[in-house]
Amino acid sequence: MLTGRTMGTSYTVRIVNCTGQCEQDMARAIETRLQALEHRFSHYQDDSELSRFNRHSTTAWFPASTELVAVAQMALEISRLSEGAFDITVAPAVNLWGFGPQDLDHKYAQPPDDTSLQLARTAIDYRQMNVRHSPPALQKTNPALTLDMSAIAKGYAVDQLAYLLENAGFSNFLIEIGGELRAAGARPDGQNWRIAIEPPAVTRGIEFIVQPGNNAVATSGDYRNFFEHNGVRYSHAIDPASGRPVNSQLAAVSVIAPNTAQADALATALLVLGLERGMALATQQGMAAVFIERDGAQFIAHRTEAFSSYLLR
Ligand code: ADP
Ligand code: MG
């Protein structure tokens, strides 16, 4: 098993039938690829491509890598699908609530004042961003726009590592970055990969074991990254409509989909939409999703029919 750190979190990669020299070679290739990806999508790195685009405060087209354009395009599609619940232009609100690159230790954050919040909201709207494929470029129709790709970049990186492994001739592996993962083929013992989806910090309660096949599993929750102020829990998932952290009984959403970038973004989109609207969208689109709702100290799971088909019985 290969492990390391990337994008502010940890990663693990299991490649079946690859040990010794093979494992060392793959470890190096994976590290190199991840560093290149961070150099595109990180908003922690001042010289990343994303940071350069964020500083580009004009409406002129910004020549970008095909990779940045591809991820921006995917993000826009999920914004449209979720009617703006998922929105990578949410960056100013993320920063304001202390979840941005300046505040790695946001445990002591406080809710912002209304004036700052209203100002931030004027620069949140995915419809003010355009993508062009040839030549690849991005455009802000509002020069104040800035992007935060944290809710899709980890998933995209998992997909890129999957291509790397496939191109190196492997068909049995499991890749995980910060809880977003993708399985392929079978485990070393020939059995299907099994993934546990657990609600936060419960010992009793529900746990799902899924067999995702050659698919991705992504989870968005309000429990891994949050701060508390005067007894209120503020999650790092922001509702772009209000500029405020989502505040519902929904603790987590997991999505199973062929593509990790999509699963990653959809999990955030459904979490922001909340149980009712999220479940309606997931059902209508035939998505495999499970919604974990808080009920006092307990949790209630709501799953779509498509999700149930992956459950291990
Ligand atoms: P999780 O750890 O729950 O999977 P992610 O790390 O995938 O969550 O995504 C959460 C991050 O995405 C936040 O820290 C923030 O940077 C960004 N974000 C917050 N709200 C939204 C939103 N509505 N749309 C897109 N990105 C968001
Ligand atoms: Mg996510």
Quick: pLDDT tens for 7-32.
Answer: 999 999 999 999 999 999 999 999 99
pLDDT of residue 203: 46
Assess whether the C-beta atom of 260 lies below 6 angstroms from ligand 1.
Answer: no
- Within 10 angstroms of residue 288's Cβ, the number of other Cβ atoms is 24
pLDDT of residue 210: 95
Composition of the chain by helix, strand, coil, percent to 5: 35, 25, 35
pLDDT of residue 103: 63
| 88 CA closest ligand 1 atom index | 25
How far is the C-alpha of 63 from the C-alpha of 139, rounded, in Å? Answer: 9
Entry pTM: 0.95
Amino acid, res. 8:
G
Task: Considering every ligand atom shown, identify the ligand nearest to the alpha carbon of residue 269 and give its number.
Answer: 1
Testing ligand 1's pocket by substitution, the residue of 236, 254, 255, 262 carrying the most ligand atoms inside 8 A of its CB is 236
Residue 229's alpha-carbon distances to 32, 114, 185, 224, in angstroms, are: 40, 16, 45, 16
Q: Which of 80, 102, 106, 83 is nearest to 146 (CA)?
A: 102
| 238 CA closest ligand 1 atom index | 20
Peptide bond into 135 cis (omega under 30): yes
Q: Residue with the nearest Cα to atom 16 of ligand 1?
A: 150
Assess whether the C-beta atom of 43 lies below 6 angstroms from ligand 1.
Answer: no
Testing ligand 1's pocket by substitution, the residue of 79, 238, 291 carrying the most ligand atoms inside 8 A of its CB is 238
Q: Residue with the nearest Cα to atom 10 of ligand 1?
A: 151
Q: What is the DSSP letter of 112?
A: P
CA of 150 to the centre of ligand 1 (A): 6
Q: Residue with the nearest Cα to atom 2 of ligand 1?
A: 220
Quick: pLDDT tens for 162-196.
Answer: 999 999 999 999 999 999 999 999 999 999 999 99
| 221 CA closest ligand 1 atom index | 3
CA of 23 to the centre of ligand 2 (A): 28
pLDDT of residue 104: 59
Domains of the chain by start residue, with CATH: 1-38+149-187 (no CATH), 49-148 (1.10.3980.10), 194-313 (3.10.520.10)
Q: Which of 180, 129, 173, 132 is nearest to 153 (CA)?
A: 180
CA of 21 to the centre of ligand 1 (A): 37
Spell out a b/e string for 257-267, using b for 16 or more CB atoms within 10 Å of the CB, else e: bebbbbbbbbb
Assess whether the C-beta atom of 90 lies below 6 angstroms from ligand 1.
Answer: yes
Structure token digits, residue 249? 């009984």
Q: What are the backbone angles phi and psi of residue 91, rounded to the nearest 5°?
A: -45, -50
Q: Residue with the nearest Cα to atom 22 of ligand 1?
A: 86
What residues in the chain have per-residue pLDDT under 50?
Answer: 203
Bridge partners, 131 (sequence order): 138
Assess whether the C-beta atom of 176 lies below 6 angstroms from ligand 1.
Answer: no
CA of 162 to the centre of ligand 1 (A): 22
Assess whether the C-beta atom of 221 lies below 6 angstroms from ligand 1.
Answer: yes
Assess whether the C-beta atom of 42 lies below 6 angstroms from ligand 1.
Answer: no
